[in-house]
């Protein structure tokens, strides 16, 4: 016995070892099998991370799984994902693994997880799922795989169908489906269970949005005739049960469909079940009267040209409902809606909402509409007539509102149009008439710091425009009064066109802060850690759909700590930009003119503005505007008026204030009548102590004009001149927004200001040029405005001045000597005998001889045979010597 158990244990262990190790021997064979199937059948790029084989997981069958499958298209959908799946698993008999390459492999079950299927038809009608390779003699070649499926399952998957040709998007999400049956038999039954959420949009309009559906069906399969008949089944749309009967048969042209359906119950509670549970809440205890019936017939062939005919009706008569927890109910509900197609052509499908009426208290609301040619040039004809007290909505229906609505909405509107007319602005084919009004409306949300209260709003519908006859509203400190016109309202509502309009807006007080919200920062936790990811903020965006012009005027605009009086201008909003034109306002006892552009087309909002400032009070403006403090910090000590033109461009922060570090631009500034307080400035205090001849309290800044440029936080000031008494001062340099300075101030100082020694020297010289002499003294200013550093070249300037005065004295003496020579020569030449001679006879004779010699060109002059020869040079020396010596007589040393 022990021996038998031992042999059995060893045998079992061997079998287990074989089951565990055998898959490794077949691994390459399985991969080759999958690759062979792909290459033989698909015209697309197929990738997967691994193929696994197990004999234990589905024993006694083999279990084959493909991980991370991805199928991507070639042209014209190159790179687009057709199919992706986290895992696709098959079960098959172990013997299938030993078949030859040309033998079909039989698969018994399929299980797919997290499948994404994208089915796309482009504008030219080409489908991305047409990837099957065409084969020669396809009927004679066996397939690599044959299916003898007994069960299959698809879990947590998504199917997208996109028709760019018809502008249709159909989506099935959170799709779970499983089926059990015998597909190898000629006739058998298939038991299926399905649940999913469906969404449908056509031409940009949502008709279904994540509506839950469920279907449990028992289907007869006639595989010989490819016919599938619904036997015992029930589906759910939201919570509304629907029973199906009929069949679907595959035919050569497509499918032949003959299905009827209806809701098994007729209570009006079924209508509430049609509403998504998120909105309808628990309907079990809702009190209802009246009936509600949905039924339909879908019959015909699905081919490339046709669809089945449709006859679907949704009806209710004189119904009502009331939630037990709410104070009011809805009465006199009448619904009569039809969805029909009588020809089998898609373009002939239409929807008739013959009646949709209800009553709440004494307010009656009536409406009707017809929508035709759904997939082509859609035709719409609708009428609304009624009154709704908005405050009653939450009293009759369990809708989750962030804030309680109040107000009375009245409408009497008729419209008839086709979508092509809307898109092409063919107003002759658009028929709008009627009016709509809203009164005592109150709305509060995170978008407004205070509730928005609309006391009155009235519009009139015309074929081309919607006239805004009145709009009176208030929020916080702000009041609004507007009139105007709206163009293309239907195009905005139905075809994603821009909303166009022209408005006139008036306000007594407009507080910008009332329309700003506090930024909410969010953090997200990082997977596997307790740390938080960086916080993110979303900047304000100018809506891309707005294309309007607003002529605005406000008596007072409150922005941050500023009060703008009598503000008016034009705002042109288009293409995610606001173009501000001819905006003027009174500010700081002067006037501001503004024009420019604010844009949110990029991730970071930008602006480019031109400002014209006239007669601003300098101290007030530099105290109230941070930008001015950065551009000219010293201006805070000036009392006076300012004119300037200023260009600014840069980025905006999340709350639409300028990001100072990003600014660039330039300005031309002019200071009018002014006075300064130098004691308030460390820079002027330090300059005053270094240059004691300047009293900065008497500095004259009247009519000062200067230009400066700034970029990335640095301000460059072009040279400008100011005057203190008879001292001219030229200033130039730069500073940063962090108040770091690099300036030069050149003082052209008259000599008289440079000390008593210099003044004594000037008095001794007694010369006009000395008295008018000026010396440039340079002051280098660095450091910051709160901790400045000043260096001057005053001592070297005084030294240079002294040298200049000495040179003037020297030149003066030389000029005096020249004058004496000139006077004597003049007397000699003129022959004046009445004037007393200022030289001796010998000197006169010598000069004459010299002049004669110079004129005749002789180098020597002979007096007689006994006299010594005298050169002109010597003679001149003698004459000049006598003149410079100051002697009137000189003994003649030559005999």
Tokens 């909402």 found at: 353
State mean pLDDT over 764-784: 79
Q: How far apart are CA 704 and CA 670, in angstroms?
A: 5
Q: How far apart are CA 613 and CA 615, in angstroms?
A: 7
- Of the candidates 59, 54, 62, 65, the one whose C-alpha atom is nearest the C-alpha of residue 31 is 65
- Its sign, for the CA torsion 490, 493, 498, 500, is positive
Sorting pLDDT into bands at 50, 70 and 90, what band is 773?
Answer: confident
At 330-379, the pLDDT tens digits run: 999 999 999 999 999 888 999 999 999 999 999 999 999 999 988 778 89
Which pLDDT score is estimated for 144? 52
Task: Tally the residues of the chain.
Answer: 895
| DSSP strand pairing (774-783 vs 788-792) | antiparallel
How confident is the prediction for the chain on average, in pLDDT?
78
Which pLDDT score is estimated for 884? 37
* Least-confidence region, from 267-276, 472-481, 534-543, 620-629: 534-543
Which pLDDT score is estimated for 31? 61
Backbone conformation region of residue 739, classed left if phi is above 0, alpha if psi is from -120 to 50, else beta: left
Which pLDDT score is estimated for 9? 42
- Please state the separation of Cα 636 from the chain's center in Å: 36
Cβ distance 326 to 398 under 8 Å?
Answer: yes
State mean pLDDT over 277-281: 70
Q: And the tokens for 17?
A: 């070892």
Sorting pLDDT into bands at 50, 70 and 90, what band is 5?
Answer: very low
Which pLDDT score is estimated for 35? 61
Classified as helix, coil or strand, 256 is strand
Indicate the Cα dihedral angle 268, 269, 272, 277, nearest 10°. Answer: -170
Q: How many CA atoms lie within 13 A of 158 on its CB side?
A: 13
Cβ distance 545 to 499 under 8 Å?
Answer: yes
User: Radius of gyration of the chain from Cα atoms?
Assistant: 51
Which pLDDT score is estimated for 851? 41
Q: And the tokens for 300?
A: 């015909």
Residue 711: pLDDT above 70?
yes
Which pLDDT score is estimated for 785? 85
Q: How far apart are CA 83 and CA 114, in angstroms?
A: 10
Q: And the tokens for 771?
A: 């008295």
Q: How many other C-beta atoms can be found within 10 angstroms of the C-beta atom of residue 561? A: 9
Q: How far apart are CA 752 and CA 634, in angstroms?
A: 30
887 CB-near residues (< 8 Å, 6+ apart): none
Q: How far apart are CA 612 and CA 569, in angstroms?
A: 14
Which pLDDT score is estimated for 327? 93
44 CB-near residues (< 8 Å, 6+ apart): 71, 72, 73, 74, 82, 131
Q: And the tokens for 884?
A: 């410079």
Tokens 């003037």 found at: 808
- Its sign, for the CA torsion 523, 526, 532, 533, is negative
Classified as helix, coil or strand, 853 is helix
C-alpha distances in angstroms, 700 versus 234, 674, 689?
A: 95, 8, 19
Which pLDDT score is estimated for 529? 41
Quick one: what percent of the chain has pLDDT higher than 90? 26
C-alpha distances in angstroms, 402 versus 324, 394, 405, 417, 538?
A: 22, 11, 9, 35, 21
Peptide bond preceding 60 in cis form (omega within 30 of 0)? yes
What global pTM score does this model have? 0.63
At 217-273, the pLDDT tens digits run: 888 888 788 888 988 788 888 778 888 899 999 888 889 999 999 988 888 888 887
State mean pLDDT over 726-733: 90
Q: How far apart are CA 609 and CA 664, in angstroms?
A: 11
Residue 705: pLDDT above 80?
yes
Q: How far apart are CA 50 and CA 810, in angstroms?
A: 105
Q: How far apart are CA 239 and CA 388, in angstroms?
A: 28
Top-confidence residue, 180 or 320: 320
Sorting pLDDT into bands at 50, 70 and 90, what band is 824?
Answer: low
Please return the burial class of 6, using the count of CB atoms within 10 Å of its CB with bins 0-12, 13-18 and 19+.
exposed
Q: And the tokens for 750?
A: 């008259």
Which pLDDT score is estimated for 334? 96
Please, what is the Cα angle at 184 between 181 and 185, to 5 degrees?
80
Residue 834: pLDDT above 60?
no
Which pLDDT score is estimated for 40? 65
Q: How far apart are CA 672 and CA 677, in angstroms?
A: 16
563 CB-near residues (< 8 Å, 6+ apart): 556, 557, 587
Please, what is the Cα angle at 779 between 774 and 781, to 5 degrees?
160
* Least-confidence region, from 88-97, 108-117, 519-528: 519-528
Q: How far is it between the farthest Cα atoms of the chain?
A: 179
Cβ distance 706 to 654 under 8 Å?
Answer: no
Which pLDDT score is estimated for 712? 80
Cβ distance 348 to 342 under 8 Å?
Answer: yes
Which pLDDT score is estimated for 25? 47
At 548-560, the pLDDT tens digits run: 999 999 999 988 7
DSSP string, 428-447: GG-EEEEEEEEEEEEE--TT
Residue 804: pLDDT above 70?
yes
* Least-confidence region, from 568-582, 594-608, 811-825, 880-894: 880-894
Top-confidence residue, 748 or 869: 748
C-alpha distances in angstroms, 105 versus 27, 98, 134, 150, 215?
A: 16, 10, 21, 15, 32
Quick one: what percent of the chain has pLDDT higher than 70? 76
End-to-end Cα spacing for the chain: 177
Please, what is the Cα angle at 532 between 529 and 534, to 5 degrees?
140
Which pLDDT score is estimated for 4? 45
Q: How far apart are CA 681 and CA 739, in angstroms?
A: 13
Cβ distance 312 to 338 under 8 Å?
Answer: yes
φ and ψ of 853, to 5 deg: -65, -40
Tokens 């059990």 found at: 180
- Of the candidates 647, 644, 693, 701, the one whose C-alpha atom is nearest the C-alpha of residue 676 is 701
Sorting pLDDT into bands at 50, 70 and 90, what band is 863?
Answer: very low
Residue 214: pLDDT above 60?
yes
Residue 129: pLDDT above 70?
yes
Sorting pLDDT into bands at 50, 70 and 90, what band is 408?
Answer: very high
C-alpha distances in angstroms, 9 versus 3, 4, 57, 285, 371?
A: 10, 9, 21, 64, 76
- Of the candidates 477, 402, 409, the one whose C-alpha atom is nearest the C-alpha of residue 447 is 402
- Please state the separation of Cα 694 from the chain's center in Å: 53
At 169-211, the pLDDT tens digits run: 889 999 999 988 776 667 788 888 899 988 888 766 666 778 8
- Please state the separation of Cα 107 from the chain's center in Å: 54
Q: How far apart are CA 876 and CA 883, in angstroms?
A: 11
Which pLDDT score is estimated for 124? 79
Cβ distance 175 to 215 under 8 Å?
Answer: no
- Its sign, for the CA torsion 829, 833, 836, 841, is positive
Please return the burial class of 830, using the count of CB atoms within 10 Å of its CB with bins 0-12, 13-18 and 19+.
exposed
Please return the burial class of 239, using the count of CB atoms within 10 Å of its CB with bins 0-12, 13-18 and 19+.
middle
φ and ψ of 22, to 5 deg: -60, -40
């Amino acid at each position: 016995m022990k021996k038998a158990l031992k042999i059995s244990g060893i045998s079992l262990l061997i079998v287990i070892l074989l089951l565990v190790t055998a898959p490794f021997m077949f691994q390459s064979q399985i991969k080759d099998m999958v690759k062979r199937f792909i290459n033989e059948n698909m015209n697309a790029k197929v990738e997967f991370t691994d193929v696994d084989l197990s004999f234990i997981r589905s024993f006694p069958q083999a279990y084959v799984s493909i991980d991370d499958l991805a199928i991507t298209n070639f042209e014209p959908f190159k790179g687009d994902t057709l199919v992706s799946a986290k895992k696709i698993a098959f079960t098959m008999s172990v013997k299938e693994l030993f078949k030859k390459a040309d033998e079909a492999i039989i698969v018994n079950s399929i299980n797919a997880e997290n499948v994404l299927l994208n089915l796309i038809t482009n504008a030219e009608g080409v489908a991305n799922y047409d990837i099957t390779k065409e084969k020669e003699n396809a009927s004679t070649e066996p397939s690599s795989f044959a299916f003898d499926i007994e069960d299959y399952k698809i879990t947590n998957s998504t199917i997208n169908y996109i028709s760019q040709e018809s502008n249709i998007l159909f989506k099935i999400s959170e799709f779970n489906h499983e089926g059990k049956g015998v597909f190898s038999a000629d006739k058998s039954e298939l038991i299926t269970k399905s649940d999913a959420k469906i969404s449908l949009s056509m031409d940009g309009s949502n008709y279904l949005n994540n509506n839950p559906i469920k279907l449990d069906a028992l289907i007869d399969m006639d595989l010989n005739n490819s016919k599938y008949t619904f036997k015992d089944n029930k589906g759910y749309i939201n919570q509304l049960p629907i029973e199906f009967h009929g069949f679907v048969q595959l035919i050569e042209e497509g499918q032949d469909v003959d299905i009827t359906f209806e809701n098994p119950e007729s209570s009006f509670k079924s209508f509430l079940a049609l509403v998504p549970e998120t909105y309808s809440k628990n309907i079990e205890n809702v009190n209802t009267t009246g009936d509600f019936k949905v039924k339909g017939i879908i019959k015909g062939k699905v081919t490339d040209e046709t669809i089945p005919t449709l006859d679907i009706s949704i009806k209710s008569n004189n119904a009502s409902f009331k939630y037990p927890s709410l104070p009011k109910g809805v009465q006199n509900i009448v619904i009569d809606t039809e969805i029909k197609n009588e020809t089998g052509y898609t373009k002939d499908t239409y929807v008739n909402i013959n009646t949709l009426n209800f009553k709440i208290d004494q307010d009656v609301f009536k409406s009707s509409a017809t929508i035709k040619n759904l997939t082509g040039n859609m035709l719409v004809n609708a009428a609304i007539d009624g009154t709704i007290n908005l405050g009653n909505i939450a009293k009759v229906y369990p809708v989750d509102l962030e804030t309680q609505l109040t107000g009375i909405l009245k409408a009497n509107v008729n419209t008839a149009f086709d979508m092509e007319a809307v898109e092409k602005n063919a107003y002759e084919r658009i028929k709008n008439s009627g009016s709509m009004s809203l009164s005592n409306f109150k709305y509060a949300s995170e978008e407004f710091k205070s509730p928005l209260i609309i006391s009155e709003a009235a519009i009139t519908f015309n074929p081309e425009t919607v006239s805004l006859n009145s709009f009176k509203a208030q929020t916080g400190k702000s009041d609004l009064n507007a009139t105007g016109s709206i163009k293309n309202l239907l195009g905005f509502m139905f075809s994603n066109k821009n909303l166009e309009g022209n408005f006139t807006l008036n306000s007594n007080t407009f507080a910008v802060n009332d329309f700003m919200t506090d930024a909410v920062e969010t953090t997200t936790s990082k997977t596997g850690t307790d740390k938080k990811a960086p916080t993110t903020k979303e900047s304000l965006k100018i809506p891309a759909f707005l294309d309007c012009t607003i002529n605005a005027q406000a008596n007072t605009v409150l922005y941050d700590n500023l009060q703008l009086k009598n503000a008016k201008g034009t705002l042109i909003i288009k293409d995610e930009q606001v173009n501000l034109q001819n905006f003027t306002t009174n500010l700081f006892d002067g006037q501001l003119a503004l024009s420019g552009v604010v844009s949110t087309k990029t991730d970071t909002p930008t602006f480019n503005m031109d400002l014209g400032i006239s007669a601003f009070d300098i101290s007030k403006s530099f105290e109230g505007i941070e930008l001015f403090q950065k551009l000219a910090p010293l201006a805070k000590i000036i009392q006076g008026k300012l004119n300037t033109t200023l260009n600014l461009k840069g980025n905006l922060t999340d709350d639409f204030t300028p990001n100072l570090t990003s600014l660039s631009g330039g300005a031309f500034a002019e200071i009018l009548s002014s006075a300064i307080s130098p004691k308030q400035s460390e820079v002027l205090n330090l300059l005053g102590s270094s240059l004691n001849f300047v009293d900065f309290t008497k500095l004259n800044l009247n009519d000062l004009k200067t230009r400066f440029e700034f970029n990335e936080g640095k301000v460059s000031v072009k040279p400008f001149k100011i005057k203190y008494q008879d001292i001219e001062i030229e200033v130039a340099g730069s500073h940063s927004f962090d108040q770091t300075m690099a300036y030069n101030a050149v003082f052209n100082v008259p000599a008289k200001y440079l000390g008593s020694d210099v003044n004594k020297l000037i008095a001794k010289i007694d010369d006009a040029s000395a008295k008018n002499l000026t010396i440039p003294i340079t002051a280098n200013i660095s450091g910051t405005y709160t901790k400045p550093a000043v260096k001057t070249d005053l001592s070297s300037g005084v030294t240079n001045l002294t040298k200049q005065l000495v040179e003037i004295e020297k030149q003066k003496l030389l000029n005096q000597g020249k004058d004496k020579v000139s006077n004597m020569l003049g007397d000699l030449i003129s022959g004046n005998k009445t004037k007393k001679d200022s030289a001796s006879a010998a000197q006169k004779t010598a000069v004459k001889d010299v002049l004669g010699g110079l004129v005749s060109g002789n180098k020597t002059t002979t007096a007689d045979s006994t006299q010594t020869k005298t050169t002109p040079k010597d003679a001149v020396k003698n004459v000049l010597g006598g003149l410079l010596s100051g002697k009137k007589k000189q003994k003649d040393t030559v005999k």
